[in-house]
Amino acid sequence: MAIFECAGCGAALSAPLSQAALPAHAHQHWGNGELLPVLMESGTYAVDPEPSGPPWRRWEEVGDEAAAVRGVFAPVYTLSFGSPGAIAIAPGDVRGTVLIPERCAGYCCGLDGSDGPNLACVQCGLAVATRIDDCSLWQVVWFDPGAVNGLPADAPIGATADWNTQGRPATPPIDPSGGWSVQWAAAAGAALAHLLAVSDGRPVALPDGLMADLFGRPLDALLPSGAPARTVVPAGPGLPVRNPGHRIFLVPRNPRTGEPWQAPGIQRTVPLPFDMWRYLIAPDERLLLPVTGGLPESVMRDDPLPMRPWRLFRPDRRLFLSTLARIPAVRQPWLREIYDRVNDRPFADYF
Ligand SMILES: [Zn+2]
Ligand SMILES: [Zn+2]
């Protein structure tokens, strides 16, 4: 558990929080004017290892070499030169802050954080965090890593993190409205970038069903056709790994640390958020609640109706591009050509 405190005066700025993986949709811009829900589950925090927030510098100003040092390997419009390590928490878990009125940029419908930190410690006035709640953005408060203390030094990473993940229900890929889930679009956009990078530019085979729905159309459009060189299959805790030479493994990210699952002998992996990975391997897993009574069998038969989306799935193009730009393999000409093609064509029908 962590309680974040003001680095200026020591005042508590959060409820007690436990670590969670940074959601794939943390920096998603979605739709046109929709209000999105809160990014983080109440009682949790996540750390963004990338630099974020202002100052921003244009790609032309920064140049290939300096961008590569910052972990960006293909042209992006701007790079953040803010601090790495911003801490995301739910706005309701923040304590003892006040808005800084002159930093409240945004206002289509709320704050977008483009002026930098817009929340100050109520006790000493230090700018400590950025609240974001404008439309098309997930609602979140980002603590400035230099302005707060409290991150546990012993947070487990990688193979040492435990995979005991009971309790969190899987996010279904289709919303009750009948549309594809926005979170799945984000996660699949990021996963598609990793999948292309490990394909070596050769056709891959996908199992029928949800995986083909998620990745089939963009892979058909972006990779050459022909006999598949490799097959994509899930692997992870409790799932045996077979034939690693001819396979690409969809693996879960640890729900606490975000580190991808690893096993000896497998190199080609595509990480997915844990709850989505779990849905892919066990779509019918439901949380069973003890109830009494209920509807007769004959009525339950058709209730609820199976969810059917009303259009084809589209991965999030912006998250696909921002993820691919951060994979070193994008410097290979064949992958860079795909990056440029998607970058130059914002309205391709598979995104
Ligand atoms: Zn303070
Ligand atoms: Zn708006």
Closest-CA residue to 264 (of 241, 237, 281): 241
Q: Residue 168 domain-assigned?
A: no
Same domain membership, residue 323 and residue 243: yes
Question: Do both 22 and 136 map to the same domain?
Answer: yes
Please tell me the number of the ligand nearest to residue 108's CA.
2
Ligand nearest to the CA of 13: 1
Is there a cis peptide before residue 304, judged by omega within 30 degrees of 0? yes
- Please name which ligand lies nearest the alpha carbon of 121: 1
In a shared domain, residues 141 and 275: no
* pLDDT per residue of the chain (351 residues) written in tens, 0 to 9: 899 999 999 999 999 999 999 999 999 999 888 899 999 999 999 999 999 888 999 999 999 999 999 999 999 999 999 999 999 999 999 999 999 999 999 989 999 999 999 999 999 999 999 999 999 999 999 999 999 998 776 554 444 557 766 556 677 899 888 889 999 999 999 999 999 999 999 999 999 999 999 999 999 999 999 999 899 999 998 887 877 788 999 999 999 889 999 888 888 999 999 999 989 988 765 555 556 666 666 666 666 666 678 889 999 999 999 999 999 999 999 999 999 999 998 888 888
Locate 202 and state its tokens. 């050769």
Q: How many Å lie between the centroid of ligand 2 and the Cα of residue 137? A: 10
Q: What is the number of domains present in the chain?
A: 2
Ligand that lies nearest to the alpha carbon of residue 98, given by its number in the listed order: 1
Rounded distance, CA 252 to CA 230, Å? 20
Q: Based on the domain organization, do 16 and 104 belong to the same domain?
A: yes
Query: Based on the domain organization, do 208 and 139 belong to the same domain?
Result: no
pTM of the model: 0.90
175 belongs to a structural domain: no
Considering the domain architecture, whether residues 136 and 186 belong to the same structural domain is answered as no
Q: Are residues 135 and 211 in the same domain?
A: no
Ligand that lies nearest to the alpha carbon of residue 106, given by its number in the listed order = 2
Amino acid letter at 181? S
Do the domain assignments include residue 101?
A: yes
- Quick one: 201 and 338 in the same domain? yes
Q: Is residue 238 part of a domain?
A: yes
Q: Does 174 map to a domain?
A: no
189 and 86 housed in the same domain: no
Domain span at 314: 182-286+304-344
Residues making up the chain, counted from first to last: 351
CA of 144 to the centre of ligand 1 (A): 13
Ligand nearest the Cα atom of residue 147: 1
Ligand 2 centre to CA of 105 (Å) is 13
Give distance in angstroms: CA of 127 to centre of ligand 1.
Answer: 8
Tell me if 340 is assigned to some domain: yes
Residue 225 CA from chain centroid, whole number: 29
How far is 305 from 300, CA to CA, in rounded Å? 10
> Residue holding tokens 């795909």?
338
Q: Considering the domain boundaries, does residue 349 fall inside one?
A: no
Do 116 and 13 have their domain in common? Answer: yes
Distance CA 271, CA 191 (A): 6
Between the CA of 345 and the centroid of ligand 2 the distance, in Å, is 26
For residues 189 and 326, membership in a common domain is answered with: yes
Using the mean position of ligand 1's atoms as its centre, give its distance from the Cα of residue 9 in Å: 4
Residue 243 in contact with residue 267, Cβ under 8 Å?
no
Domain co-membership, 222 together with 309: yes
174 touches 198 (CB < 8 A): no
Q: How far is the CA of 14 from the centre of ligand 1 (A)?
A: 12
The ligand that comes nearest to the alpha carbon of residue 109 is 2
Domain assignment of residue 160, yes or no:
no
